[in-house]
Structures are given as structure tokens and as C-alpha cells.
């Protein structure tokens, strides 16, 4: 899909732009990589939380 827009004023300044919509692949193709990245971040958050609890217990 393409669209054209143009503008000109009395001082002969013209601004022209072209807008286009990029067709991308469906999101379902990347679902596996997104799932593994999310799983990695969940493990990281769990490990950090576990260590923070251990540190807090040591201060008690």
C-alpha cells in the first residue's frame, strides 16, 4: 500500500513524502524464539529473587 502527500506554499517551498506499509512475516513464525527468550528471563528473575531472599535472611 502506497500513499503520496505533497505540500507547497507561496515561497515555492515544497515538501513531499511517500508513506508505505511494510509487509512483514506473521508473528507465529517467531513464537518459538520469543518463548525461549521469555523462559530465559523468567529463570533469571527467579534466580535473582532467590538470591535476594537469601541476602535478606542473612540480615535478620
- Comparing C-alpha atoms, which of 14, 12, 17 is closest to residue 2? 17
pLDDT score of 49 more than 50: yes
Hunting for cell 533469571 — which residue is that? 44
pLDDT score of 12 more than 90: no
CA pair distance 42, 3, nearest whole angstrom: 43
CB 5 within 8 A of CB 19: yes
**Domain locations in the chain?**
31-60
Which residues have C-beta within 8 Å of that of residue 14, sequence separation ≥ 6?
6, 7, 8
pLDDT score of 53 more than 70: yes
CA distances from 29 to 7, 24, 32 (A): 41, 11, 7
**What pLDDT is recorded for position 1?**
47
**What pLDDT is recorded for position 6?**
56
- pTM value is 0.39
pLDDT score of 34 more than 90: no
Amino acid at each position: 500500500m502506497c500513499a503520496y502527500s505533497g505540500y507547497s506554499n507561496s515561497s515555492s517551498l515544497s515538501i513531499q513524502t511517500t508513506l508505505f506499509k511494510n509487509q512483514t512475516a506473521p508473528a507465529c513464525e517467531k513464537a518459538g524464539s520469543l518463548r525461549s527468550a521469555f523462559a530465559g528471563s523468567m529463570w533469571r528473575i527467579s534466580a535473582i529473587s532467590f538470591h535476594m531472599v537469601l541476602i535478606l535472611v542473612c540480615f535478620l
